[in-house]
Structure 1
């Protein structure tokens, strides 16, 4: 089918993940008269757009949706080998490690409507201590609004078998000396209870919401590669987009441009467009990740038959998820998942009781360094025809110490719960967390150490905004989506206010 690209819009959004969807949603709510177009390089997987793939009931359709998210197949094949790759993602095929460095061998991306929000585990913990963006006085209000858009709840699986017992055992082992708000608790999750009793994962579809989908001034264009931001006299004036269905290029004028790709491809597009502030691509932050699995001791039967999944249940009622929050004294956070929620296989099938195998994942806050960065090649191109990426990344002595302390903490948690299924926890290669941050980081002042200001507008180019995990400036260990959506809300409100002021 042919489709018509607009000649001009008020706002062009690049990327349809949770942060891009946030801009569409807030603009649809606050400035519904504005024309907004969202361009996504990947395909539409399901209806509604941005649906989490785990909500696709048919297993074959779900697997097909994951495969369609895996980018250029040649690029995926080139990355094959011993590196871990998860369904729905594709690895950076080369350039992920430079000689003498640790690199990011686990660096991966997704290309699809909804971005990584179509594949994530929905964990939305709030940052604490040094994780918080201290120069934002309204951060808690923004986090409240992010929870609204993502539909975050903290009691989704209180009826899961053993979840209360898991938390009791973890609390006994880990809570001593912690402030009340940072003790073991249920993990806040982005999920939706449907009218028929099913529980489904929130994807970007939930963030878009009906306000975006019914907004006649909003249009989503899948399989549309944004090749350049059009910059004139220090202002963003539009985007150059290639229709991947037929190869045609379209120049689309825009009053505001929002780049909400991931933390690797957002700086890639800015660099390709000649927008190259000193901090672009720098302070690259991954979260060193360690996993372990245990069989709960002294549990053999379900404590309550009502906790079993109903026929057609999208999320198993065995999906208890507990949270061990980050603290400045222990700069890592843990998520403890009854087996079916883990994105990484942790145990064999054939467990004695549903929900009695528990996966533990501990994520460390990275020691931020300017030299940890993604660079771009002026001559070599990736499979999309964009500048090829080169990752520079090193773990510091502080990082190694933090990883070792997290391994000790995960052992303590495992011993409190039951019998470990392996002799030692497994620490993944850098990049495996998929929680990359910092490459378009926010700052309070244009001091050369940040790319954008508190409202996410790029210092160097007016009317150009960045969004996504790359904007996060702090060394967070918790899952970053809630915070990146909160920061996107501030940026979207700023644009809406400007559009409304211009209209009046």
Structure 2
């Protein structure tokens, strides 16, 4: 097959290379390696292998370069620490992390709270090159009723992401932290305090390898001759005819060349804001598109442990080491927030002075949102963003229920801090909306096509044959825990549906090569 044919026809097109898009590529490579897969990303390849986490780059200059390349059309021109946790505990209205860029305008409407800290990454691997790698399972009210096999899917997501709860659970003082937390919290909760499951592995040389999309792609995708990853290429439209997907239109961001790709199946896995943007630009506009936007209200606090004994100071190599203990306070229906308890290198709070390994503890509480259709991202047909796509306008506010949940989270955080030690910087800090980077709900799953969802439990968009959506946007519940594991699990279900349907659907609709110039 010629180079031209390889990039103009496919069986499946995947838009986006974050963990959910990578999961589609992995499952299809494992279950249907005969399918021709083209996977596009508007951003560049910033690591080798493609999609790796930037924390795995030991050289500070290499890490800084990768972060600048992820920051969209106007990367930062001033020095930024390559540690995304530096300055994390900030009360600035528009917090921006290294490797990300803020929504330039449209982040607030009128006197609404808006999402002033709404941010993106544009690079192969997406936000999976910059995330914290926390992979807790949803529980109780966080679970998705429409997905009957959720536990099996979560287990498969853990396989793809390389999740371990043991590796960091054995860090110095981590057991002491969990024992103190458990004594104070477990008697009042239906889910116990436990080590945080993290997507990370320990290399033979003692370094940690943090999971990005490279781990999700796995050897099965990298060895698949029918999978091709094309970077710096923006998908501008999903092409349809009478409710049937026929392919995509793309623009090469290096030379500006535009062309069409024929494919009967398209998976849009951009992110929870840019996935609905692409559907809108494609005139695919179900009533729920962009609605039910869920960002997790977030508060942070920090303490210095009291009454602890000296620990073994031996460190493993690499930019972040196993001294960074991370514990988990799970969401419950009676306590509608999720807590991360992070030690030393994983702590968001800098501390001057001599400390023991694991002695400074950062607390981060994420609250379940009062989900409403009015919280939404809208798109402007008359204005465009820096990529030439419909401009975004955010409508988002905190309800009285949200304020009550936040107040309860702050009270619990103070009590938890007192269980552990002494406050480092005073009262907990409430982050501005959008700072969690955990946006969800804008292409949500539903049981029926009743105008309140965008797709079914297999992530198939209602009324458009051959179109799937993926990523955090498909999560329909008030998820308070980190969403990546859940979105990867849902991607596994969607990919398996494509694999099952491929034999009949693709044989009927496979286009002839070379249809478009």
TM-score relative to the length of structure 1 = 0.95
Query: CA 1:100/1:418 → structure 2, altered by over 3 Å: closer, same or farther?
Result: same
2:483 to 480, 483, 491: 480
SS in 2 for 1:117: helix
Q: Does 1:186 align with 2:195?
A: yes
Q: Does 1:64 align with 2:61?
A: no
Aligned counterparts of 1:109 and 1:479: Cα–Cα separation in 2: 16
- 1:309 is matched with 315
- 1:219 is matched with 228
CA contact (8 A) 1:238 1:254 kept: yes
User: Number of residues paired by the alignment?
Assistant: 491
- Deviation track 1:166-207 (CA, whole Å, cap 9, x = no partner) reads 00111111111323xx11000011112223332211100000
Query: CA 1:421/1:74 → structure 2, altered by over 3 Å: closer, same or farther?
Result: closer
Q: Does 1:99 align with 2:99?
A: no
- 1:458 is matched with 461
Aligned counterparts of 1:279 and 1:440: Cα–Cα separation in 2: 7
Aligned counterparts of 1:208 and 1:186: Cα–Cα separation in 2: 26
CA shift, 1:116, in A, is 0.4
SS in 2 for 1:380: strand
1:467 to 467, 470, 481: 470
CA shift, 1:460, in A, is 2.3
- 1:281 is matched with 290
CA contact (8 A) 2:291 2:441 kept: yes
- 1:25 is matched with 26
SS in 2 for 1:28: helix
Q: Does 1:441 align with 2:444?
A: yes
2:129 to 95, 103, 118: 118
TM-score relative to the length of structure 2 = 0.93
Aligned counterparts of 2:77 and 2:59: Cα–Cα separation in 1: 25
CA shift, 1:74, in A, is 7.2
Q: Quick check: 313-322 or 120-129, which moved more?
A: 313-322
CA shift, 1:158, in A, is 3.0
SS in 2 for 1:479: coil
CA shift, 1:313, in A, is 2.8
Query: CA 1:275/1:338 → structure 2, altered by over 3 Å: closer, same or farther?
Result: same
CA shift, 1:94, in A, is 0.6
CA contact (8 A) 2:93 2:432 kept: no
SS in 1 for 2:71: coil
CA shift, 1:82, in A, is 5.3
- 1:7 is matched with 8
2:333 to 305, 318, 328: 328
Aligned counterparts of 1:110 and 1:351: Cα–Cα separation in 2: 35
CA contact (8 A) 2:207 2:321 kept: no
SS in 1 for 2:187: coil
Which ranges of structure 1 fall in alignment gaps of 5 or more residues?
none
Aligned counterparts of 2:496 and 2:161: Cα–Cα separation in 1: 17
CA shift, 1:143, in A, is 0.5
SS in 1 for 2:11: strand
Aligned counterparts of 1:329 and 1:158: Cα–Cα separation in 2: 26
SS in 2 for 1:175: helix
1:415 to 411, 414, 418: 418
SS in 2 for 1:404: helix
Query: CA 1:82/1:428 → structure 2, altered by over 3 Å: closer, same or farther?
Result: closer
CA contact (8 A) 1:31 1:500 kept: no
Aligned counterparts of 1:341 and 1:223: Cα–Cα separation in 2: 32
- 2:17 is matched with 16
